[in-house]
Amino acid sequence: MSAAMTCRSCEAEGLLPFLSLGATPLTDAYVPLDRADEPEARYPLDVAFCPSCSLVQLLYAVPPEAIFRDYSYYSSFSETLLVHSREHARELMTSRGLDSGSLVIELASNDGYLLRNFVEEGIPVLGIDPALGPADAAEAIGVPTLREFFGVELASRLRSEGKRADVVIANNVLAHVPDLNGFVEGIATILADDGIAEIEVPYVRELIEGLEFDTIYHEHLCYFSVTALDALFDRHGLSLNHVRRFPIHGGSLRLTVGRRSEERDTVRTHLADEAAAGMDDFDYYRGFGDRVVEVQASLRAMLERLRGQGKRIAAYGAAAKGTILLNSSGIGSDLIAFVADKSPHKQGKLMPGVRIPIVPPERLLEEMPDYVLLLAWNFRDEIMREQRAYLEAGGRFIVPLPTPVEVGREALESVEAG
């Protein structure tokens, strides 16, 4: 583990810390039952702002090899993500006129959840992902996948083999990359002269203003604003041409970049909005740490009060954000009986750190806990629709952020409509 003495993007010194979530385990280090007695590694989780380029980033980095080779996140388990990805693929096919002579490269292609949409239309693709399990799953559905870390080296090799991408897609990966400049230089290297890259990242503005501190974890080294990204792309000869916002993952940016400048008003508008909000100034971030401590305390107090009344509480969503929320808020197995999750890769294991058992979602209806803490609040509507029977039977969800609230069957109507 190493401390970032200089900014990951602009390499300036003088990073300004504004939040510490303490020493927490790696979020995807699910504990098998037969290793329940063994201690697990914990790493500091401290966040800082770069006053030179505005990039928000972790102060310490865990070696990537410790994280991704054993990565157990499979994108295809989220219906919301599948729909979002299908729409993205269709839009690209139309807007870029993709056909059997094109090449679409996806970085962090996971289990092929996105590229499969192109394969179905006969458009050549190449997935790149170092996570072995998901890459095997991608190959099994006909998505060719290189099991490697992407950077300028791999991009140069592919280019020397004659590969140039008409479209590069990099969704929810930029924040994970230790060598940010090498990764973006790699995109510039592999892109055809008139190609575009579309990159989705969680938006730091949603993190700060929505108090989404549980999206901060060791795997997420950076938290992006348009201001910080514009400087990053510019350094590698890429032009930021278009910016859109999507609700997925608690609020994301989709950025379109290319070698050619075709800048649209959306770029200028976002840069102006960020400047008006003060996002290029440390003051915007300074009070975040105190607000996080307050919401953690109020959530814990709510759960303790319910337990004190004899209520039984479970949780839903054994994802990374759940690990962070539970560990950094001091919410353990004394308050939460089990965590329900759809992924069979996680069921039968224990949540990292807090060691709460992970079970299939059917257990909610079987055991009818009085409350379910919604750890995967970013998929709130999808989960409420899936758990309609639990809610109709009188079960209630607790949505933790930005302020803990409970919702029950009365919310089903608006969820269906939305």
Q: Is-contact 298 211, C-beta < 8 A?
A: no
CB of 357 to Zn ion, least distance (A): 42
Pairing of β 60-61 and β 145-146: unpaired
The smaller minimum CB distance to Zn ion, of residues 53 and 248, is found at: 53
The smaller minimum CB distance to Zn ion, of residues 4 and 192, is found at: 4
Of the listed pieces 11-19, 68-76, 78-86, 368-376, which binds Zn ion according to CB under 5 A? 11-19
CB of 50 to Zn ion, least distance (A): 3
Q: What is the 3-state secondary structure (H, E, C) of the chain?
A: CEECCCCCCCCCCCCEEEEEEEEEECCCCCEEHHHCCCCCCEEEEEEEECCCCCCEEECEECCCHHHHCCCCCCHHHCHHHHHHHHHHHHHHHHHHCCCCCCCEEEECCCCCCCHHHHHCCCCCEEEECCCHHHHHHHHHCCCCEECCCCCHHHHHHHHHCCCCEEEEEEECCHHHCCCHHHHHHHHHHHEEEEEEEEEEEEEHHHHHHCCCHHHCCCCCCEEECHHHHHHHHHHCCCEEEEEEEECHHHCEEEEEEECCCCCCHHHHHHHHHHHHHCCCCCHHHHCHHHHHHHHHHHHHHHHHHHHHCCCCEEEECCCHHHHHHHHHHCCCCCCCCCEECCCCCCCCEECCCCCCEEECCHHHHHHCCCEEEECCHHHHHHHHHHCHHHHHCCCEEEECCCCCEEECHHHHHHHHHC
Among 4, 20, 43, 52, binds Zn ion (CB under 5 A): 52
Of the listed pieces 55-63, 80-88, 179-187, 310-318, which binds Zn ion according to CB under 5 A? 55-63
CB of 56 to Zn ion, least distance (A): 10
The smaller minimum CB distance to Zn ion, of residues 13 and 34, is found at: 13
Of the listed pieces 4-12, 195-203, 319-327, 335-343, which binds Zn ion according to CB under 5 A? 4-12
CB of 51 to Zn ion, least distance (A): 8
The smaller minimum CB distance to Zn ion, of residues 50 and 320, is found at: 50
50 near Zn ion, judged by CB under 5 A: yes
CB of 12 to Zn ion, least distance (A): 5
Q: Is-contact 202 159, C-beta < 8 A?
A: no
181 near Zn ion, judged by CB under 5 A: no
Which residues between 147 and 176 bind Zn ion (CB under 5 A)?
A: none
Total residues at interface with Zn ion (CB under 5 A): 8
231 near Zn ion, judged by CB under 5 A: no
Among 7, 126, 152, 339, binds Zn ion (CB under 5 A): 7
The torsion angles phi and psi of 258, rounded to 5 degrees, stand at: -155, 170
CB of 74 to Zn ion, least distance (A): 34
211 near Zn ion, judged by CB under 5 A: no
CB of 226 to Zn ion, least distance (A): 15
CB contact set of 397 (below 8 Å; sequence gap of 6+): 316, 371, 372, 373, 374, 380, 383, 384, 387, 391, 406, 407, 408
Which residues between 273 and 292 bind Zn ion (CB under 5 A)?
A: none
The smaller minimum CB distance to Zn ion, of residues 161 and 283, is found at: 283
Of the listed pieces 50-58, 142-150, 332-340, 383-391, which binds Zn ion according to CB under 5 A? 50-58
318 near Zn ion, judged by CB under 5 A: no
User: Residues 338-377: x/- map of binding to Zn ion (CB under 5 A)?
Assistant: ----------------------------------------
Of the listed pieces 8-16, 94-102, 171-179, 246-254, which binds Zn ion according to CB under 5 A? 8-16
Among 4, 10, 411, 415, binds Zn ion (CB under 5 A): 10
Nearest Cα neighbor of 281 from 51, 110, 100 is 51
The smaller minimum CB distance to Zn ion, of residues 51 and 408, is found at: 51
The smaller minimum CB distance to Zn ion, of residues 279 and 375, is found at: 279
298 near Zn ion, judged by CB under 5 A: no
Residue ranges binding Zn ion (CB under 5 A): 7, 9-10, 12, 50, 52-53, 55
